[in-house]
Structure 1
Amino acid sequence: MPASPPLWAEIAIPPRPDLIRSVQQMARTLADQCGIDAARGARIELALEEVLSTILRLSFDGLSPDDARLTIRCESAPPYFSVTVIDSGLPFDLSMVPPYDPQHPETADRLETGLSVHLVRHSVDRCSVLQHGRGGMRFEMAWLLPAAPAAGPDAPPQPAAPETPPEPVESVRLLGEEFAIQIARLVFRGYGWSYVYEDVYYPERLAAHFRSGAMKSWGAVTPSGQLVGHLALVRESPDAGALEWCIAVVDPRWRGLGLMERMLQAAMDHANTCPEPILCAHAVTAHPYTQKTCLKFGFQPVALLLGYAPATMQFRGIRPELSQRESTFLCARCTHPLPDQTLYLPTRHAPAIRRLLDALGARPPDDRLIVTDTPPDLSGRVTNYASVTAHCINVAKIQIESTGGDVAAILARERRRLCGERVDVIYLTLDLADPGAPLAAQAAEQCGFFLAGLTPMLHPAYGLTFQFLNNVDVDFDSICAHGPTAPWLRDTVAADRLRVDNGA
């Protein structure tokens, strides 16, 4: 059955309290059409009333209604029903809102602004406040939609039947910056606005990446010059020793012609001439097609990154809606030998690490693999680390560059900070060439991190990555795993999460 078209409504109003009811009615009407029950509908109305009242008090204090406006957008974007309020009034942030203690309501501020924010936070499933400078302040609230019936085990998602292409493909070739606008349009055809690398929607940014050499692209081009397929090679960071093939998309009207494989082969031929020893890709788990392509070209799954992309990610013509954040298998292929290093393996994870190194064809000799849980004394050594948040997908990455005796305190502090910022997933990478890696692994598990797998040459040559889910649900049974290694890796990650959750 084809997916229902998305439901949305948007209204712009002057900042007047007598119009709040009109906004509530719009939101409630759309929520009813989405199957949200009366109790949750009432929570939506309550949250809207409190948010709009707070904005009118703090953001439009003393302003003429002619000076500003409020824009409210309601949208069904499975798995959430969302309401976004964009305020173009006076700048403010939540530090201006007095805290509210439900145990001592008599201490509330006179205007009860703290109570309003308290009620909003307890009326929604998710909420965030974002500053956009001249673009205004955004209040984003979301409620989980009623669960849709699960597809039966005999009915896996299938790509839509391809249409007859309007014209043939003339060539697959290296692209230049003149194709930037066509790349942005092509990605929209395949993913809507949901693709994880937001730069693909900004032609001027793509052009800059071409000019700097940070991205090389191959495309399928028709005789009329239309771009109908695209694949790029990029580096995750300037110091990464891996090239990632990504932004892989084929216009739905040209699917089924083998264009993805032709573009990937062209990119691999180029990668074999580059100094980076690893070529990798994020293979999604909503469907098996990318994983099948990876295996056909010799890529092996070496890590399962849970919740890597938002649940709003779309696969047009294949699977338009996701029931949870999208997990990916990091699939890698060696193009040159990895650096010759001695590795320090945590005892618990040594068998899995050896199997993944074997799958990659990059296992050092046994005398270079030291299995230990008792690293040297690190009490006088300070932990060096980097922490970066990718706001467009709401995940954070912590890189431990060298382990010191303070690693447990640092990880606990960073996890607490990032959870407070409502980051959905935190990835933690340790350098297995660091003698302190086993100690860092123990500290990570004490903070609730569990195994993801290897992330080779994504800064450290031999990266061991763990992950922490911040109130994010993952159904392992819905993770599509294809080939001999992926199902084992999925089960290994699931077992390690259960072990860490149980404190074992």
Structure 2
Amino acid sequence: MELTEGRVMTEQGPSFDPRRCTLSIPNELAYLEMVQGFVRDYVQRVGFDRCDQARFDLLVEEAVTNVIQGAYADGERADLSVACERVPAGVQITVHDDGLPYDPSLTPEYRPDADLDSQTAAGLGSFLMRQMADVVEFHNLGSLGKDTVFVKYLDSPSVADAGPPAEAAPLEAPEPVQEPQRIELWIADMRPEQAIDVCRCIYDAYRYTYVNEHMYFPDRVVALNKSGDMLSAVATTVEGEVAGHAALVFAEDTREIADLAIVAVKAKFRGQSIARRLGEYLETAAHDRGMHGLYIEEVTVHTYTQKFCHRLGFADCGFLLAYVPAITSYKGINEKLDSRGADIMGYRYLRPPQDVPLYVPERHRDMVAALFANLGAPFTAAPSSAAWGAGNGAAGPDPDGPPADPDGSSVDPDGPPTELHTSVNVRRAVATIRIPVYGADL
């Protein structure tokens, strides 16, 4: 247990926030009474009477119990924090955890007039919190975890301040779960109501280190699939649990090719060939759409993903050096990278590739020819390729004329200007610059 003074960051550095006090505890119910005493003492200082203090006891019990029992696997060790903060005319309690993603919209609503047998404990817990607090909110913070927040106001204004919050200790990685016996699985497109289970699957495989932060927000996962920017497939057990996920991720300007990505399998279901089956399902979907091909980024920190890609027929064609942040972890496979990692680029043609002339610098021709041979694609070097080589004495485009295309034609000075598309993946710490159109101004 840890109790410290709250800090806020300013331009001059950290400073103290006298209104906020935070308690950090292990995710064990044995600490519940300690949390209740902490909150009770704080709200008493703010000005709440004994009757209200008893309500806070129940609020804390519901919120903390829900987190401990619902956000972590049995035996998983972690910390959670409870923060008390003075707000105008009342107090705000925030329970923060880094456990499983949660979608409150999927919790059945508790109805006091309905039959008791049709009610759920989760629905009752949410109902009780809403009855006892003036405001109850659930905040999905993506890779930063989630907050359960409730606010209760004083019957009459009172003035009180308190001090100290705690920084939660880092979570310890759970031990890998033993592989189960073979089970029956169904592979299908993701349904909207399964989005929260997909987020939990990502969490199980990567904790909060996955670089695509959209995958921690169920509503974003649904929206991406609805817009056609992503096609999610899930492997589901007969009991309805999502065991694995993979997706086709499309670039903003084409639906002809896609990235086979966001492959995640829960640790307890590994060894069932789920990733391969999801990949084959999505490959069939791409065939049915008449797509040209698929590409994939193969993680080099372990060989499984490379074997998985080769079994699906992908051929290596390049490297993405220092592409994977060191924060990325693979639960049960590699808990931490020593430095930024590299990805191997793989590609699979879904249609026979066309034989078109390629303008390649002479010094790179053998390497490019080898890459195309590995892809099973024809390679024809255009006759003027040598003009692109350095120091080979070949004549290039007229230096006094307009800039030329690789095929020797000049760029129209009155044509459209160059288009530069830039994007930054903050979590990956990688920037991408794309040039879909280049003009005389380039």
Name the residue aligned to 2:257: 242
Name the residue aligned to 1:298: 313
How far residue 226 of structure 1 moved from its aligned partner, in angstroms, is 0.8
Name the residue aligned to 2:6: 12
1:67-466 matches, cutoff 5 A: 162-165=177-180, 168-239=183-254, 241-339=256-354, 341-366=356-381, 370-373=385-388, 375-377=396-398, 379-381=401-403, 384-392=418-426, 393-401=428-436
Contact 1:344/1:372, CA 8 A, preserved across alignment: no
Contact 2:7/2:15, CA 8 A, preserved across alignment: no
Contact 1:281/1:330, CA 8 A, preserved across alignment: yes
For the residue of structure 1 that corresponds to 2:221, the secondary structure is: helix
Q: Once superposed, what is the RMSD of the aligned Cα atoms?
A: 3.4
How far residue 165 of structure 1 moved from its aligned partner, in angstroms, is 3.7
Contact 1:390/1:396, CA 8 A, preserved across alignment: yes
> Does the C-alpha gap of structure 1 residues 405 and 260 become closer, same or farther in structure 2, counting only changes over 3 Å?
same
Q: Whole-Å Cα distance in 1 between the matches of residues 206 and 215 of structure 2? A: 11
> Does the C-alpha gap of structure 1 residues 170 and 288 become closer, same or farther in structure 2, counting only changes over 3 Å?
closer
Q: Which amino acid aligns with 1:277?
A: H
For the residue of structure 1 that corresponds to 2:258, the secondary structure is: strand
> Does the C-alpha gap of structure 1 residues 217 and 165 become closer, same or farther in structure 2, counting only changes over 3 Å?
same
272-281 or 201-210, which deviates more? 272-281
Q: Whole-Å Cα distance in 2 between the matches of residues 17 and 365 of structure 1? A: 59
For the residue of structure 1 that corresponds to 2:288, the secondary structure is: coil
How far residue 328 of structure 1 moved from its aligned partner, in angstroms, is 0.6
> Does the C-alpha gap of structure 1 residues 247 and 17 become closer, same or farther in structure 2, counting only changes over 3 Å?
closer
Contact 1:350/1:371, CA 8 A, preserved across alignment: no
Q: Which amino acid aligns with 1:391?
A: N
Name the residue aligned to 1:40: none
How far residue 12 of structure 1 moved from its aligned partner, in angstroms, is 2.5
Contact 1:171/1:222, CA 8 A, preserved across alignment: yes
Contact 1:285/1:326, CA 8 A, preserved across alignment: yes
Q: Which amino acid aligns with 2:302?
A: H
Structure 2: gaps (5+ residues):
18-85, 89-174, 389-394, 404-412
Q: Whole-Å Cα distance in 2 between the matches of residues 174 and 311 of structure 1? A: 32
255-264 or 390-399, which deviates more? 390-399
Q: Whole-Å Cα distance in 1 between the matches of residues 4 and 241 of structure 2? A: 34
How far residue 249 of structure 1 moved from its aligned partner, in angstroms, is 0.7
Question: Could you list the per-position Cα deviations for residues 396-438 of structure 1 after superposition, in whole angstroms to 9, with x for gaps in the alignment?
Answer: 122344666775xxxxxxxxxxxxxxxxxxxxxxxxxxxxxxx
Contact 1:341/1:368, CA 8 A, preserved across alignment: no
Contact 1:232/1:267, CA 8 A, preserved across alignment: yes
Contact 1:162/1:253, CA 8 A, preserved across alignment: yes
Q: Whole-Å Cα distance in 2 between the matches of residues 361 and 9 of structure 1? A: 62
> Does the C-alpha gap of structure 1 residues 233 and 369 become closer, same or farther in structure 2, counting only changes over 3 Å?
farther
Q: Whole-Å Cα distance in 2 between the matches of residues 10 and 335 of structure 1? A: 59
Question: Could you list the per-position Cα deviations for residues 311-345 of structure 1 after superposition, in whole angstroms to 9, with x for gaps in the alignment?
Answer: 11111100010011121111101111345543211
Q: Whole-Å Cα distance in 1 between the matches of residues 250 and 385 of structure 2? A: 30
> Does the C-alpha gap of structure 1 residues 358 and 349 become closer, same or farther in structure 2, counting only changes over 3 Å?
same
Q: Whole-Å Cα distance in 2 between the matches of residues 203 and 375 of structure 1? A: 54
> Does the C-alpha gap of structure 1 residues 18 and 219 become closer, same or farther in structure 2, counting only changes over 3 Å?
closer
Aligned residues: 267
Contact 1:387/1:396, CA 8 A, preserved across alignment: no
How far residue 354 of structure 1 moved from its aligned partner, in angstroms, is 1.0
Structure 1: gaps (5+ residues):
1-7, 24-64, 68-159, 408-504
For the residue of structure 2 that corresponds to 1:172, the secondary structure is: strand
Q: List structure 1 segments (4+ residues) > 4 angstroms apart after TM superposition.
A: 8-11, 14-23, 366-369, 401-407
TM-score normalized by structure 1?
A: 0.47
Contact 2:176/2:267, CA 8 A, preserved across alignment: no
For the residue of structure 2 that corresponds to 1:372, the secondary structure is: helix
Q: Whole-Å Cα distance in 1 between the matches of residues 243 and 369 of structure 2? A: 41
Q: Whole-Å Cα distance in 1 between the matches of residues 361 and 4 of structure 2? A: 53
Name the residue aligned to 2:119: none
How far residue 380 of structure 1 moved from its aligned partner, in angstroms, is 2.6
Contact 2:250/2:258, CA 8 A, preserved across alignment: yes
Contact 1:342/1:370, CA 8 A, preserved across alignment: no
Q: Which amino acid aligns with 1:397?
A: T
Q: Which amino acid aligns with 2:360?
A: L
Contact 1:283/1:291, CA 8 A, preserved across alignment: yes
How far residue 266 of structure 1 moved from its aligned partner, in angstroms, is 1.1
TM-score normalized by structure 2?
A: 0.54
Structure with higher Rg: it is 2
Contact 1:169/1:220, CA 8 A, preserved across alignment: no
